[in-house]
């Protein structure tokens, strides 16, 4: 902790999602001192979005002692590129849908030149775990975010892996099933990890398993198209065998993929982040088992398998804010 950080005890975090843009002012311990939010899609241009954001921010900045107390701002956003400070086309945000938005510079210009950095949400989660969460003190680990998609943030030698273009760490798009039988992915290719191990992947597995057999299951009481990963988890909790097998399949896919990831950077931990983590041992046990069955001998038993140490509701804002300490 240097003098400057002592003088400026806060950072701003912005978790930019497809629905909400959530702001928090956070101290070095990861306590959120103030928070506010606006709707991401209520604006037609990036300029209008930043205007409204700064207006909302001014109130909480004032409330926590003013801009002088703020060291920097971190943004976690889809396709956020750390190197150039831009959102590089985000399909789910209408003012960034077909264009590159220099969001870091736009915020910095409106906040008296405050240092502002941006990265994608999974990288933000990784920095969040390193600064405030279960990866404190670790220098080599992988955060895997399990949500609508599968994202990842990779830390090597204590530094986030951004790669040559700022876009590294897309482990959700490692192809775990090659050839034509792989599931079609939103990225246009087939067989990506994301199509099996995201929340939507779990629902897809449920529909496949229900249609392939006529085994009894609580899930048969639902319209197959409405089944979510949470429904599967609840059914499994009630002892439903088929639902348990769906998580077993999902966990094995993830564990085998992690065994491949270990050959890259031999992490001391894999950290799982996002809503699906609530499934607990139902998901984590098959991950660990499949990993230890399939990983190279030299890596066996070395990596920890952890769930995020950041509070669920505010995890994404904390992650984004953590970038502010790393600039």
Residue of the chain from 161, 222, 230, 307 that contacts a second copy (CB under 8 A): 161
305 binds a second copy (CB under 8 A): no
CB atoms within 10 A of CB 110: 18
Binding residue (CB under 8 A) for a second copy from 32, 56, 265, 327: 265
Which of 57, 227, 259, 271 touches a second copy by CB under 8 A?
259
Regarding 83 and contact with a second copy (CB under 8 A), the answer is no
Residue 194, number of CB atoms within 10 A of its CB? 25
Structure tokens of 1?
């902790």
- Which of 39, 97, 189, 215 forms a contact with a second copy (CB under 8 A)? 189
CB of 54 to a second copy, least distance (A): 30
268 is a site residue for a second copy (CB under 8 A): yes
- Site membership for a second copy, residue 55 (CB under 8 A): no
Are the C-beta atoms of residues 275 and 151 closer than 8 Å to each other? no
C-alpha angle 159/27/54, rounded to 5°? 95
- Cβ-contact 291, 41 below 8 angstroms: no
Piece of the chain touching a second copy by CB under 8 A; list 26-34, 170-178, 210-218, 277-285: 170-178
Nearest CA-CA partner of 155 in 172, 173, 137, 180 = 137
Contact call for residue 35 and a second copy (CB under 8 A)? no
Give how many residues touch a second copy by CB under 8 A.
Answer: 43
CB of 125 to a second copy, least distance (A): 17
Q: How does 119-152 read in b/e, with b if 16+ C-beta sit within 10 Å? A: bbbbbbbbbbbbbbbbbeebebbbbbbbbbbbbb
Residue 169 as a binder of a second copy (CB under 8 A): the answer is yes
Tell me if 286 sits within 8 A of 251, measured CB to CB. Answer: yes
Pick the piece of the chain touching a second copy (CB under 8 A) from 2-10, 37-45, 93-101, 161-169: 161-169
319 touches 26 (CB < 8 A):
no
The residues that touch a second copy, with contacts defined as CB under 8 A, are 139-140, 154, 156-157, 159, 161-171, 173-178, 187-189, 256, 259-261, 263-268, 294, 296-299, 302-303
């Amino acid at each position: 902790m240097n003098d400057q950080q002592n003088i400026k005890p806060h950072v701003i975090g912005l978790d930019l999602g497809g629905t909400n843009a959530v702001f928090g002012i956070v101290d070095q311990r990861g306590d959120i001192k103030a928070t506010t939010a606006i709707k991401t899609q209520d604006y037609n241009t990036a300029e209008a979005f930043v205007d409204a954001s700064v207006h909302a921010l001014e109130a909480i900045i004032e409330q926590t002692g003013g801009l002088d107390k703020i060291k920097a701002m971190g943004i976690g956003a889809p396709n956020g590129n750390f190197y150039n400070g831009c959102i590089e086309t985000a399909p789910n945000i209408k003012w960034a849908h077909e264009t590159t938005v220099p969001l870091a510079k736009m915020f910095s210009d409106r906040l008296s030149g405050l240092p502002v950095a941006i990265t994608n949400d999974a990288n933000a989660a990784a920095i969040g775990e390193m600064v405030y969460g279960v990866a404190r003190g670790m220098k080599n680990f992988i955060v895997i975010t399990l949500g609508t998609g599968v994202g990842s943030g990779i830390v090597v030698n204590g530094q986030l892996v951004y790669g040559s273009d700022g876009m590294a760490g897309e482990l959700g798009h490692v192809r775990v099933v090659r050839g034509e039988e792989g599931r079609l992915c939103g990225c246009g290719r087939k067989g990506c990890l994301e199509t099996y191990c995201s929340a939507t992947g779990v629902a897809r597995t449920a529909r496949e398993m229900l249609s392939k057999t006529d085994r009894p299951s609580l899930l048969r009481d639902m319209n197959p198209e409405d089944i979510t990963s949470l429904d599967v988890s609840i059914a499994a909790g009630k002892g439903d065998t088929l639902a348990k097998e769906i998580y077993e399949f999902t966990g094995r896919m993830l564990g085998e993929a992690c065994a491949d990831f270990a050959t890259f950077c031999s992490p001391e931990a894999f950290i799982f982040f996002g809503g699906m983590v609530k499934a607990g041992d139902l998901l984590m046990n098959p991950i660990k088992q499949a990993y230890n069955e399939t990983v190279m001998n030299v890596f066996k038993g070395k990596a920890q398998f952890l769930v995020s140490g950041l509070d669920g509701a505010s995890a994404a804002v904390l992650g984004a804010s953590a970038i502010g300490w790393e600039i």
